[in-house]
Amino acid sequence: MKSLINLIKKENLGTYKENVSFKKLTTYKTGGTARLVVLPYNTGALIKILKYIKTNNIKYKIFGNGSNILASDKDYNGVIIKLTNLNNIIINDNKIEVEAGYNFTNLCNQMSKKGYSGLEFGGGIPATVGGAIYMNAGAYLESISSVVEKVDILDENMQIITLSKSELQYGYRSSIFMKKNWIILKAYLKLKKYNKEEIIDLIEDRKQRRIKTQPLEYPSAGSVFRNPKGMYAGKLIEDCNLKGFTYGGAQISDKHANFIINKNNATSSDIAYLMNLAKEKVKEKYNIDLYREQELFNFGDE
Ligand SMILES: Cc1cc2nc3c(=O)[nH]c(=O)nc-3n(C[C@H](O)[C@H](O)[C@H](O)COP(=O)(O)OP(=O)(O)OC[C@H]3O[C@@H](n4cnc5c(N)ncnc54)[C@H](O)[C@@H]3O)c2cc1C
């Protein structure tokens, strides 16, 4: 790891920090320590760092805002790469070219205020653009896939290629990125011009609705499970009498049963315990399999 740090310093490839707690890297605010976190300055620097990492068989993982990741309590002897510095944006009328590190909430609010429709669903999603493209983030039956035209990625051979939307295999909270080891560099989005006041009202309305129905006052990573077809995971969990069920410092939220919150210094194992419990009880009572929307990282069995 020291030699990677030396390379980053010598070639001025980015900023880095050693021994960073996953409490600072995830919105659950739980987990062990990452040996090294690197923020490359640009795509060229990212490629150099990745080439070094791959040649030297160092473990690595791309993190956006960590808002969909439960990192285990174990330390991670690898590199977390954050693309925070890849945050350029070009807005040309209704067309946007935006790099993966750009703050997704800001993008949604910024475009809506300009009177462009298509990203109203994203006002309360604390993602990076890269994370949103990866997850096909969405809400209110809309998702980012409806406005994506193409995406620039870095493939496993360190080639930058452009993929059109039809190649991204978008589905409900799923995309081709879940099956590949690619890095999302830039997204090209296309919005529609619409009535500015109506868009702003809609965003505000949804914001209030989230405040009312979601436990935003506690750390979480949003919805734990995908909704089974025609059903709500939260309702199924609630009907198993698990709303408010507490384990260690974690709780199945009493406001929204598809949220697990870090209520009081929870560990990631506390949260993982509740995830398994909810899944088991729903299977037992309804014979329905719940599938996680959130990703477990560094548990050793993902
Ligand atoms: C309060 C709250 C509310 C939420 N509400 C919603 C909601 O309404 N709808 C919804 O869809 N989600 C919601 N989420 C979940 C989360 O915000 C989304 O899943 C989001 O898309 C994750 O983005 P991120 O940047 O945090 O990605 P991370 O959580 O950091 O990463 C998620 C995955 O994407 C990969 N990844 C990230 N960036 C890149 C990249 N550049 N290239 C390749 N892979 C990458 C990571 O490796 C990881 O596998 C919510 C979360 C919270 C905390």
CATH number for the domain spanning 145: value is 3.30.465.10
pLDDT band at 123 (very low <50, low <70, confident <90, very high): confident
**Is 114 strand, coil or helix?**
coil
Does residue 237 sit in the same domain as residue 285? Answer: yes
**At 141, is the pLDDT very low, low, confident or very high (cuts 50, 70, 90)?**
confident
Are 132 and 226 part of one and the same domain? no
Number of structural domains the chain divides into: 3
Q: Say what the pLDDT of residue 122 is.
A: 93
Residue 58 located in a structural domain: yes
Same domain (yes/no): 50, 107: no
Which of the pair, 17 or 302, is modelled with greater confidence?
A: 17
Cβ burial 74-87 (10 Å sphere, 16+ → b, else e): eebebbbbbbbbbe
Q: Which of 204, 196, 142, 148 is nearest to 173 (CA)?
A: 142
Given a cut of 70, is residue 103 above it in pLDDT? yes
Q: Are residues 122 and 63 in the same domain?
A: no
Do 251 and 177 lie in a common domain?
no
| Ligand 1 centroid – CA 58 distance (Å) | 24
Q: Give CA–CA dist 235/214, Å, rounded.
A: 14
What gap in Å lies between CA 227 and CA 138, rounded to an integer? 12
Give the closest residue (by CA) to ligand 1 atom 27. Answer: 131
Is residue 159, in this structure, part of any structural domain at all?
yes
Question: How far apart, in whole angstroms, are the C-alpha atoms of residue 107 and residue 113?
Answer: 10
Domain that holds residue 121: 89-198
Instruction: Evaluate whether residue 177 is within a structural domain.
Output: yes
Residues in CB range of 267: below 8 A, 6 or more apart: 30, 73, 248, 249, 250
* Pocket-forming residues, ligand 1, beta carbon under 6 Å: 27, 61-69, 83, 100, 124-128, 130-132, 134-135, 137-139, 177, 183-184, 216, 220-222, 295
- Asked if residue 191 belongs to a domain, the reply is yes
Ligand 1 nearest atom to the CA of residue 133, by list position: 21
Asked, for residue 32, whether it belongs to a domain, the answer is yes
Q: Is the pLDDT of residue 302 over 80?
A: no
With CA atoms as reference, report the closest residue to 139 among 203, 64, 212, 91. 203
User: Measured between alpha carbons, how far apart are the two ends of the chain, in Å?
Assistant: 24
Can you say how many angstroms the Cα of residue 83 is from the centroid of all Cα atoms in its chain?
13
